[in-house]
C-alpha cells in the first residue's frame, strides 16, 4: 500500500482526534515501518489494518465508518496534490465511470507498484452508474467516501447504495443514481 494512503490517514487521525491519538496508535500498532511513512514508499497493508483496528478500539467507531470518513478526507488529499487531475472530468459520473480505464492508469504512472482495486462498469448513463468493486482489502467504505466527495466536488447530489456480494466485502456492488 502506498505511503500517501498512510500519511493521509495519520493526518486525518490528528485532525479528528489529536496528536496524542496518533502517538497512541503508533505505539499500540504492529508496524514494521515504525510508523515512518513517505508518500511514495510502499508499506504492508497489515500496517493499515493494525492502525484501523487500534483506532476502532480507542474510539469505538466501526472500521467501515472510519474508512468512509477517511475516504472523504482522502479526496481532499487528491484535490490538493493533483488539482489538475480533477479538471479532466465534466461531472461525477464521468469521473467515477473512468476509474478503471483512466484514473487507475494515471495512478500507476505515478505509483508503479500500487495495488489497486478493480471497478467493473455494469451500467452507465448520464445519471446512473452501477459498478462492481473487487479487492482483497475490502476497503469499499473508503471508496464510498471518495465517491461522496466526488459528487460534492461537482456540486451534485446522488444516492449511493452499497451491496456486499460476499461476506468479506471483497466484492461489492455500487449503485449510484443522481438525486433530482
- The DSSP bridge pattern shows strands 128-134 and 158-164 to be unpaired
Residue 39 inside a domain? The answer is yes
Number of domains in the chain: 2
If asked whether residues 101 and 163 sit together in one domain, one would say yes
pLDDT band at 96 (very low <50, low <70, confident <90, very high): very high
Is 168 within the bounds of a domain? yes
| 51 and 120 belong to one structural domain | no
The reply to whether 53 and 128 lie within a common domain is no
169, 108: one domain: yes
Q: Is residue 85 part of a domain?
A: no
> CA separation (Å) from 88 to 52, 145, 172?
33, 20, 27
CATH code of residue 162: 3.90.1520.10
**Above 90 in pLDDT, residue 164?**
yes
| pLDDT value, residue 152 | 96
Is there a domain that residue 113 lies in? yes
According to the model, what pLDDT value does residue 135 have? 94
Residue 21 in grid coordinates? 491519538
CB atoms within 10 A of CB 37: 22
Determine the structural domain holding residue 50 and report its residue range: 3-61
What is d(CA 3, CA 159) in angstroms, rounded to the nearest whole number? 31
Q: Where are the alpha helices (DSSP H) in the chain?
A: 3-17, 19-28, 45-59, 63-81, 83-86, 92-97, 104-110, 140-153
Domain boundary residue, one of 20, 45, 61: 61
Digit-coded pLDDT (tens) for 19-76: 999 999 999 999 999 999 998 888 999 999 999 999 999 999 999 999 999 999 999 9
84 within a domain of the structure (yes/no): no
Amino acid at each position: 500500500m502506498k505511503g500517501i494512503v498512510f500519511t493521509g490517514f495519520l493526518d486525518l487521525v490528528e485532525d479528528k482526534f489529536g496528536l496524542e491519538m496518533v502517538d497512541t496508535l503508533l505505539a499500540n500498532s504492529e508496524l514494521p515501518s515504525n510508523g515512518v511513512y513517505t508518500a511514495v514508499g510502499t508499506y504492508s497493508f497489515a500496517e493499515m489494518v493494525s492502525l484501523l483496528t487500534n483506532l476502532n478500539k480507542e474510539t469505538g467507531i466501526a472500521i467501515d465508518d472510519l474508512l468512509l470518513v477517511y475516504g472523504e478526507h482522502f479526496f481532499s488529499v487528491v484535490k490538493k496534490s493533483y488539482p489538475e487531475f480533477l479538471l479532466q472530468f465534466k461531472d461525477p459520473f464521468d469521473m467515477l465511470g473512468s476509474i478503471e480505464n483512466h484514473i487507475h492508469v494515471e495512478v500507476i504512472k505515478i505509483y508503479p507498484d500500487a495495488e489497486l482495486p478493480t471497478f467493473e462498469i455494469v451500467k452507465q448513463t448520464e445519471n446512473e452508474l452501477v459498478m462492481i468493486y473487487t479487492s482483497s482489502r475490502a476497503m469499499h467504505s473508503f471508496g464510498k467516501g471518495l465517491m461522496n466527495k466526488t459528487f460534492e466536488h461537482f456540486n451534485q447530489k446522488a444516492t449511493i447504495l452499497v451491496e456486499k456480494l460476499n461476506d468479506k466485502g471483497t466484492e461489492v456492488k455500487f449503485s449510484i443514481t443522481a438525486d433530482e
